[in-house]
């Protein structure tokens, strides 16, 4: 199959391409970060007038996965207009253009659409209540996609992995600080469900292959605090977990408000796929193996001319 990835230089995009380029024809859309990627890259700014239609007509993909977003929470607070353009307006245009061309479409949303005040987990039936510009624009994007294209997939995600810049994921934050003997904090009162980004990519392809549609929670099946996540990273890489100080997010000094509870149920997705989602320890083991095999250096080399 021919698979088009927007935001291909982002954390999900680059790992998605790397994961699938031996199984599918990958075409990425990038504004210029990738210089020597081992797959075709179309250089475009999708916010330009007519760019969506130009890219789709040039690539003629079977599937499109929209990984493009403004995902920096504080930057979204500082520039809500740009957040709206990337997180809501662009997904609407992509969904409409894919429907018109008969292209299967999957849009990446976020677990952060919930306010985190519920006890226990959130299902797809629970009403969202976004707490900031990022989560509000991402929720607007969900609505826009499913309104324009009811056959589309909208996947709420939370993933970690190795990135082009080496600083994009929470796992890299802990790993980089721990390997440089730098102390850091981990939030004890922010609960989430991390998934290795490669698993996210593999499951998205399964969803497209099965012709799923609608809203799904695509996160890890195990909930934990961000502090616990850091400790798990330290233990797997045999680094000093004592460098991680437990801390409340209420004293973080961050600009954008964070939800305390982002425990999402994955029952709907595992039921529709007929299989359990990969557990946390398996994903963390693969993340460790990737480091041992030089995977981070390989993908970062795609930026070099």
pLDDT number for residue 33:
87
Tell me: the pLDDT tens digits for 53-109?
A: 999 999 999 999 999 999 999 999 999 999 999 999 999 999 999 999 999 999 999
For the cut 80, the answer to whether the pLDDT of residue 252 exceeds it is: no
Beta carbons within 8 Å of 176's beta carbon, 6+ residues apart: 166, 167, 182
Phi, psi of 271, deg, nearest 5: -65, -45
pLDDT number for residue 167:
87
Q: Looking at the 3D structure of the chain, how many domains does it have?
A: 1
Tell me: the pLDDT tens digits for 111-154?
A: 999 999 999 999 999 999 999 999 999 999 999 999 999 999 99
| Domain limits for position 261 | 2-303
d(CA 235, CA 167): 20
Residue whose token pair is 């007519």? 50
11-20, 222-231, 246-255: least confidently modelled range: 246-255
Rounded to whole angstroms, what are the CA distances from 235 to 105, 128, 178, 199? 38, 35, 11, 21
Which of the four pLDDT bands, split at 50, 70 and 90, describes residue 7? very high
- CA nearest to 9, candidates 298, 305, 302, 304: 302
pLDDT number for residue 254:
72
Which of the four pLDDT bands, split at 50, 70 and 90, describes residue 26? very high
CATH code for the domain of 142: 3.40.50.720
Tell me: the pLDDT tens digits for 180-237?
A: 999 999 999 999 999 999 999 999 999 999 999 999 999 999 999 999 999 999 999 9
Which whole number is the average pLDDT over 270-298? 97
For the cut 70, the answer to whether the pLDDT of residue 305 exceeds it is: no
SS (H, E, C) the chain: CEEEEECCCCHHHHHHHHHHCCCCEEEEEECCCCCCCCCEEEECCCCCCCHHHHHHHHHCCCEEEECCCCCCHHHHHHCHHHHHHHHHHHHHHHHHHHHHHCCEEEEEEEHHHCCCCCCCCECCCCCCCCCCHHHHHHHHHHHHHHHHCCCCEEEEECEECCCCCCCCCHHHHHHHHHHCCCCEEEECCCEECCEEHHHHHHHHHHHHHCCCCEEEEECCCCCEEHHHHHHHHHHHCCCCHHHEEEECHHHCCCCCCCCCECCECCHHHHHHHCCCCCCHHHHHHHHHHHHHCCHHHHHHHHHCC
């Amino acid at each position: 199959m021919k698979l088009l990835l927007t935001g291909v230089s982002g954390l999900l995009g680059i790992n998605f391409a790397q994961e699938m380029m031996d199984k599918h024809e990958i075409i990425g859309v990038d504004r210029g970060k990738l210089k020597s990627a081992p797959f075709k890259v179309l250089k475009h700014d999708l916010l330009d007038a007519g760019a969506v239609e130009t890219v789709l007509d040039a690539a003629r993909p079977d599937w499109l996965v929209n990984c493009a977003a403004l995902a920096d929470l504080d930057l979204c607070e500082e520039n809500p207009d740009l957040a709206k353009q990337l997180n809501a307006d662009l997904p609407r245009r992509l969904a409409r253009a894919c429907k018109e061309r008969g292209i299967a479409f999957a849009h990446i949303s976020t677990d952060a659409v919930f306010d985190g005040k519920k006890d226990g987990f959130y299902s797809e039936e629970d009403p969202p209540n976004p707490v900031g510009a990022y989560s509000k624009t991402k929720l607007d994007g969900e609505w826009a996609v499913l309104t324009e294209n009811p056959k589309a997939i909208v996947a709420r995600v939370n993933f970690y992995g190795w990135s082009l810049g080496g600083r994009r994921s929470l796992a890299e934050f802990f790993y980089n600080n721990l390997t440089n003997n730098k102390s850091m904090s981990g939030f004890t009162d922010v609960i989430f469900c991390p998934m290795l980004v490669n698993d996210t990519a593999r499951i998205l392809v399964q969803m497209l292959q099965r012709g799923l549609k609608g809203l799904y929670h695509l996160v890890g099946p195990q909930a934990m605090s961000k502090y616990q996540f850091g400790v798990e990273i330290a233990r797997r890489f045999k680094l000093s977990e004592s460098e991680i100080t437990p801390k409340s997010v209420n004293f973080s000094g961050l600009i954008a408000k964070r939800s305390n509870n982002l425990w999402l149920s994955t029952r709907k997705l595992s039921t529709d796929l007929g299989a359990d989602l990969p557990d946390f320890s398996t994903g963390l083991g693969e993340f460790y193996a990737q480091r041992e095999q030089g995977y981070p250096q390989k993908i970062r080399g795609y930026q070099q001319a």
